[in-house]
Structures are given as structure tokens and as C-alpha cells.
Structure 1
């Protein structure tokens, strides 16, 4: 049987320090038939120099003006030879067995549209195991259920129109996965730590969280019909989250520290030095 090609797409924007580790993790994947495509998304000179030095080791280096990670991923996937696509951010890296295990899932079950895995979230001196939940459309309408670096079929990417290039502030992977699962199928989680996510101070994930509500509003409006179809589920989860937040707020207000602080500030508020929010 002819072995399938896996195309590993690595967008890169000003990641000279980490890009080599990302590329190495792609090159050492145990699945033998693969290609590595790096898309330079308008990086500065130091990253361009680094990429030029790494170019002989990869299959293709694409250079474009800065258009954002969605456009960079789309550009790489367009020229990919493989039917199976793995996207990888340039500051993260996979363990060597991920491709082999992920493609095995996709080859065995056509209902699987997306394969992700347990992840090691790491920063200086800190490591945390993160377990994405996986699931189907009803699950992903509420939250992202897979890592941004995951594997899917190129035919499915093409069928849903690729990544949304308007989304420049983050969560573009979540929105893309909603469309992948819109007409059925599910996201499968390999129950092993096979991915390493670098939790940087200025990571795209943290920047996205700062703009979370504006991005969510865009996603909810874009997929308004889907959310209307699942209105009861959406409202139930929203109220459950609100209830949880209110319970936490009450717990803080009932704490001894809060009560002492409130008493200490009371005379200062009377003088107009502090206002109660």
C-alpha cells in the first residue's frame, strides 16, 4: 500500500530563537513520508537570516508580507502535496511519534476530522499538562476542544474555505474547527503528551485573551445560525458559567481578608480617597 504524505506547515513571524527547534521536531517525525513547508510571514532581518540557513533542510520556504497566521497557514496548505496536514507554530514542537499516531487515527476513521493530543504547556521553570477535551460540534460551539497545532485532511480544509484571514487577533483555529465539524464528525484526542506549547509572555494566545470578548462576538455572529440551532445548550452553559463566577465573587467577599480590607478602607472612602466600584 502506498504511504500517505503528511505536509507539516510552519508559519513563522519573528521567531529566530525557536524556529529551528520547531523544524527539527517536524524533520524527526517517525512517519517517513512527509514534507516540511515554512511560511515566513514578513519577519524581520534576523529571522530571515535564520530561515535562509535552515532552507536546505526543508522542502519549501515561502516568503510573504505580513498577513497574519491564518493567511500564512493557508498559503502553505495551498502548495502542500500531502492530503494530511499538520500545522505547527514556529515556537512550539511535537514529540517524534505524533504524526505516526495521528495519521493512523485519520486513516482508520473517516468521521474523525481533527486529531490533537495532550500537551505540555511550558515556560521558564514551569510545566503543566493540558488535556484538550475533543468532541463534536455541540462541544466546540462552547469552547475550543483541540490545540491550534493539530492534524486534519487537506480536502476538509478546502471544503470549508481554509482559515479565516480576517481573524488577526487570535482564536482563528477555534473558528476554523467549528467549520470543520459543522456538518458532522469529531475531534479526536490522543491520550498522550506529544506536543509542547511554549507559554511565552507575549504569546498569541495571551494576546487573544485580552481581546477575547470582541473575538467571541465575531465568532458568534459569523455562526449565528449554528448558535440559534443550539440555543438551549448555549444558554445553559452561559448561565452555568455566570453562576460559577458569581459564586466565586461571593466567596471572595465573604473572606476574612476582604472584610478586613473593606473596614480599613471605609474611613478613607469617607474622605473621598477611594471610591467603591
Structure 2
């Protein structure tokens, strides 16, 4: 039985999924790992691409388009390893990622995630080429920093670690892009909530429930993934707001969730979210950091004429 199962949900990401799997094939220990790709009813070339792959460590599951939560749950049902790594289909892992992750899990089981470089969609090929030629994670890291576009929603752990210089961080720092946990903890938290639809929120709600199990959340900034960002033609803002409000109600209006909502809506600072989610004081003399949701959404979108 494999020690680690990697679950990759995907929808219409054939080009990025190809990069993700090709880089996984270069990971030390991949032959002792199970990788489950759940194709969530893609209508591009995804099905044709994955069905022709011959990686012995790869299992492909096809389903109707039911969303990322259902796709992750479908993969989770098939996992039998000690540990699970959720990985998005547009993430490239640095050399040595799996080896270092498993070493951390075996030493002190918990919830772990690495750093994430958000690579703007016009720099994808440069990122892919860079990771191919560099054999060690440290040699590539400094160059990747020059390509990234920092995203507060996925990079807030960097700030939390400055303010609290330990591996432990708060649940708002965790996304489903590249996090690992023992299968036993995931079963205790339950499945991803399939009531979330559209883009966003379902992974932060899951992070909140993982935290409620009492498990520790650790930020491993010595390893990292590269997120190959993709321009979205349209983001349904009213639906996104509905998801946020549903999360708040489901949490029974938990004050930490309230703090998260105030941060992602741009009404309160990252420093305040740290204080309220970590339940500790913060003396920070720097300027308050705010997330700008509409600016963030505009940066993610592209119109039909590419502007």
C-alpha cells in the first residue's frame, strides 16, 4: 500500500494538468505514491489526454461535472494511504516536495502545506522551463520569486510566520491547492461540502472544520509549489457572496469565520485576522494590510478580446 495518495480534481485544464503530472513524474518517491486524477466532466482534451497516460502510479476517475468538492470527495473515497495530499491541477511541485512532506508527516503527523508562488498566466512557460532545468528547489526559488504575483488569499501564511515565527499557522492560511493531512484526520473532519458552487470558499470552509478537529496546521516554507494562474472569463460575484454567507451561517456565526469574512470583503486587515484567528496579540508597527476583492477579481478575469 502506498504511504501517500495525491488527489487531483480537474476541469478543463488539460494543458496545465499535463505540466502538473509531468513534474510529479520527476518527484523522488513517486513510484511509491498513488495519484488519483478526478476528471470533473471536462469538455476539453482532458479525458483523451489522461486516458492515454501509462504512469503506473496514476488512477483516473471520470465523473459528470459536479464541482471541485464532489471531485475531491470522489478521490478521497478511494484513498487508502496513511496520508493524503490534495493538489490542484495547475500546481507544479518543487524538487523534493514529496520526500520532505512525508518526512514531516512521519515525524509529527498533522496538516501541512508548502509555500505557493502564484505565477501570472503570461509567465507560465518561463516557470515550466525553469523548474525543468533546475534540479534543486533552492536554485529555482530566487528566480521564481521574480515571476510571481503575490496573492493574499494564498500567501497570507508568509505574514503569519513573520508575526509568529513558528510552523503553526491559523486555518485561514490553508487552501486546497497543496495541503496534506493524515487520512484519519480527513475522515474525522468529514467530506468537502458539496453545497458550495462556483469559484472559491469551499476549501477555506474545509480548513475551518479541520481546525475544529484539534489538528495542528503547519506551514512548510522550505518546500513550494507554483500555481499556473489562468485568466477567468467570468466570475459570478453574487454566487461568491452567497458562498461566503453560507459559510458564516454554517459555522453558527463563529467569530473567527466572521473575521475571515471581514478580511476577504476588504473591511478589516490581515493583522486583525491574525489576532482573531490565532487568538493572540500582535504588536505590528507596519501599515495595515488589506485585501482588495474587486481588484483581485478584475486581475483574474479576461474579456473576450483579451483585455
If the length of structure 2 is used for normalisation, what is the TM-score? 0.65
Aligned match for 1:115, one of 112, 117, 124: 112
* Counterparts of 1:136 and 1:216, CA distance in 2: 25
Paired position in structure 1 for 2:243: 215
2:191 pairs with 1:192: no
* Counterparts of 1:173 and 1:147, CA distance in 2: 5
Query: CA 1:242/1:12 → structure 2, altered by over 3 Å: closer, same or farther?
Result: closer
Kindly provide the CA deviation profile for residues 14-34 of structure 1, in whole angstroms up to 9, marking residues without a partner as x.
112121111122232223521
Whether the 8 Å CA contact 2:88–2:176 is kept in 1: the answer is no
Q: Aligned to 2:192, what secondary structure does the other structure show?
A: coil
* Counterparts of 1:243 and 1:115, CA distance in 2: 27
Query: CA 1:44/1:222 → structure 2, altered by over 3 Å: closer, same or farther?
Result: same
Query: CA 1:219/1:213 → structure 2, altered by over 3 Å: closer, same or farther?
Result: same
Kindly provide the CA deviation profile for residues 176-223 of structure 1, in whole angstroms up to 9, marking residues without a partner as x.
1111110323211112352011221119xx948774432221111111
Give the 5 Å matches for 1:229-244: 234=259, 242=267
Kindly provide the CA deviation profile for residues 50-101 of structure 1, in whole angstroms up to 9, marking residues without a partner as x.
1112255543111111111111111112112312111111122211311211
Kindly provide the CA deviation profile for residues 89-135 of structure 1, in whole angstroms up to 9, marking residues without a partner as x.
1122211311211222222224x3x1111111102144235644278
Q: Radius of gyration: which is bigger?
A: 1
* Counterparts of 1:136 and 1:222, CA distance in 2: 25
Query: CA 1:54/1:100 → structure 2, altered by over 3 Å: closer, same or farther?
Result: same
If the length of structure 1 is used for normalisation, what is the TM-score? 0.72
Structure 2 unaligned residues grouped into runs of 5+: 124-146, 161-166, 271-286, 289-307
Paired position in structure 2 for 1:17: 15
Q: Could you list the structure 1 runs, at least 4 aligned residues long, displaced by more than 6 angstroms after superposition.
A: 134-137
* Counterparts of 1:185 and 1:87, CA distance in 2: 17
